[in-house]
Structure 1
Amino acid sequence: MTFLDSFLLRAALAGVGVALAAAPMGCFVVWRRMAYFGDATAHAAILGVALSLALSVPIFAGALVVALLMAVTVSTLSGRGYSMDTLLGVLAHSALAFGLVAVSFLEGVRLDLMAYLFGDILAVSRMDLAVIWAGAALVLALLWWRWAPLLTATLNPEIAHAAGIDPRREQLVLTVSLAIVVAVAIKVVGVLLIAALLIIPAAAARPFADTPERMAAMAALIGATSALGGLWLAFQLDTPAGPTIVCLAAGLFAASSIMRLLRPGRV
């Protein structure tokens, strides 16, 4: 028996890995008000799952490619005669519907669709774990490399232009990072709950962080706590692990909101 033979240990490591990747991305999603953008990218991933199974390629590769295509398409078409919310609504639900229809045409493939929609963290293998942590490391490396330009472009595009920073290039970095997070998080929380894992920890951390870096760190802590605590609750209550993780994150957000309201000196 090796260190990673326990399925609970693999599940815990997978949850922490996804939380570390999603936390800083979630902060930028909150700052840029891109919640629906993240949701659309996640919904597109189910089409990537169907294509991966049809072409016999790794699920991660198919989900990553389709999520990237969705994110790039939205970035390209936005501001060209389409409002952002309309464009995201059309593409998100269309990609999800096409993915579900494509799955129904697959023959000779045993597919647990619920596992991809809501996650199956308890079935994470050692290979899945390696992919999750490699993806998380890549996302963190990208954000570490571009943190200052990304932050400047997020706060004020005009100042970014004056400083020689191209906001569209930084948007592309965010797009790639978001697609990677979506691809690695499918196994943990599924395509329907990825956006929640992105947004809720960041939103819970926001009232108590006085710097962007601290907010990202607190979001990572809240995300990891949600993953580990959600797994424990799912084991104790015999509930689905992915939704339970998101429920705990929502509870932490509610607690942080109440604490903010009760904080002395609040204006």
Structure 2
Amino acid sequence: MSYAGWILLTGALVGISCGLTGVLLILRKMAMMADAISHTVLLGIVAAYLVSSSLDGGSMLIGAMLAGLLTAWLVQWFESSGINTDAAIGVVFTTLFSIGVILISTSVGNVHLDVNHALMGEISFIPWNVIELPLIGPVPSATLLLLIVTIIVALVILLFFKEWKITTFDPALAASLGFPVLLMHYVFMTLVSVTTVAAFDAVGAIMVVAMLITPAASANLWTDRLSHMFLLSALFGVASSSMGYVVAIWLNTSISGSMAFSTGLIFLISYFFAPKHGQIAKRVYKTNEI
């Protein structure tokens, strides 16, 4: 595959994995949790390196998953103690992220692991870091990791679709029917954590937030059906990554930044022209009522 092809494929996998996960974030009103986890996984990545002395993708995933779960547990604990949700997220997010930054500055040394890379990412470097696969040949390691994570996210959502639906829309009813609401919550936080760290090399933590939230918010304007929302969100994520690459090449600017810009552009179009909840559709409906 060509250099541009690997970048487009990597961006598409980011769009699909973040798009699918983002739907549940939007519907559960946990958008700020995405921002928190996308930053606190930095602590998990640094801790994984300090323990294993390796930048291996597997140890990074485990560290990020544990950091995401720690974030979710701490936020939940503060909430149960009477702290406002936004305040709890803010305190946990800033504290854990700052610990990660301090550890990078004081303990990591000259290893290729820095705050700017974690925050902003650089998708143009992805095709150069490859691993050899039997019968396939050289494949970018970040792309392979994203492919595995995307498959896992899609399978977990598909296999437990009924559980996600009821625990998202009516957790009280789900609990009364015997569904493991708290367990599903932590499984979901794990998915968010794994998806976030898998996208680090591609778009960085800040851009992951755009990919997690904006395509799902756009899809929410087009349909009220959960299955359709998943499909549209993934589609918008892929479209955003492709559009972002074209814009970046055209303007000779940051690919990650252009991808984030494209998610906002798709949301703006959806906000006005979506047939279900778009502003123009609402005005036409009100006019017809009159």
TM-score (norm 1): 0.91
Q: Which residue of 2 aligns with 1:27?
A: 23
How far apart are the structure 1 equivalents of 2:98 and 2:90?
Answer: 12
Q: For residue 112 of structure 1, report the CA deviation from its aligned partner.
A: 4.8
Number of residue pairs matched by the alignment: 263
Q: Which residue of 1 aligns with 2:99?
A: 98
Q: For residue 220 of structure 1, report the CA deviation from its aligned partner.
A: 0.6
The counterpart of 1:185, out of the listed 199, 203, 209, is 199
1:234 aligns to 2:248 (yes or no): yes
Q: For residue 175 of structure 1, report the CA deviation from its aligned partner.
A: 1.2
How far apart are the structure 1 equivalents of 2:254 and 2:208?
Answer: 15
Q: Which residue of 2 aligns with 1:121?
A: 123
Tell me, what secondary structure is at the counterpart of 2:83? coil
Q: Which residue of 1 aligns with 2:148?
A: 134
Describe the superposition over 1:12-52 as per-residue Cα deviations: whole angstroms up to 9, x where unpaired.
11111121111121111111110111111111022233334
1:202 aligns to 2:203 (yes or no): no
Q: For residue 199 of structure 1, report the CA deviation from its aligned partner.
A: 0.7
1:44 aligns to 2:40 (yes or no): yes
The counterpart of 1:225, out of the listed 233, 239, 245, is 239
The percent of aligned pairs where both chains have the same amino acid is 23
Q: Which runs of 4+ in 1 moved over 3 A?
A: 52-55, 110-113
Q: Which residue of 1 aligns with 2:135?
A: none
Q: For residue 76 of structure 1, report the CA deviation from its aligned partner.
A: 4.0
Describe the superposition over 1:225-245 as per-residue Cα deviations: whole angstroms up to 9, x where unpaired.
001110111122111111110
Q: For residue 64 of structure 1, report the CA deviation from its aligned partner.
A: 3.1
Q: Which residue of 2 aligns with 1:69?
A: 70
How far apart are the structure 2 equivalents of 1:70 and 1:37?
Answer: 9
User: Which sections of structure 2, spanning at least 5 residues, go unmatched?
Assistant: 130-139
1:265 aligns to 2:279 (yes or no): no
Structure number with greater Rg is 2
Describe the superposition over 1:136-159 as per-residue Cα deviations: whole angstroms up to 9, x where unpaired.
111111111111111101111222
Describe the superposition over 1:151-180 as per-residue Cα deviations: whole angstroms up to 9, x where unpaired.
101111222123321211221221111111
- Decide whether the 8 Å contact of 2:245 with 2:255 is kept in 1: yes
How far apart are the structure 2 equivalents of 1:179 and 1:150?
Answer: 17
Q: Which residue of 1 aligns with 2:11?
A: 15
1:167 aligns to 2:168 (yes or no): no
Q: For residue 210 of structure 1, report the CA deviation from its aligned partner.
A: 3.2
- Decide whether the 8 Å contact of 1:142 with 1:173 is kept in 2: no
Describe the superposition over 1:110-129 as per-residue Cα deviations: whole angstroms up to 9, x where unpaired.
44532211121111231111
- Decide whether the 8 Å contact of 1:71 with 1:179 is kept in 2: no
Q: Which residue of 1 aligns with 2:80?
A: 79
Q: How does 1:149-160 map to 2 (within 5 A)?
A: 149-160=163-174
Q: Structure 1: which amino acid aligns with 2:96?
A: A
The counterpart of 1:107, out of the listed 100, 106, 109, is 109
Q: Structure 1: which amino acid aligns with 2:32?
A: Y
How far apart are the structure 2 equivalents of 1:113 and 1:89?
Answer: 19
RMSD: 1.8
Does the C-alpha gap of structure 1 residues 103 and 254 become closer, same or farther in structure 2, counting only changes over 3 Å? same
- Decide whether the 8 Å contact of 1:72 with 1:175 is kept in 2: no
User: Which sections of structure 1, spanning at least 5 residues, go unmatched?
Assistant: none
TM-score (norm 2): 0.85
Tell me, what secondary structure is at the counterpart of 1:190? helix
Does the C-alpha gap of structure 1 residues 52 and 161 become closer, same or farther in structure 2, counting only changes over 3 Å? closer
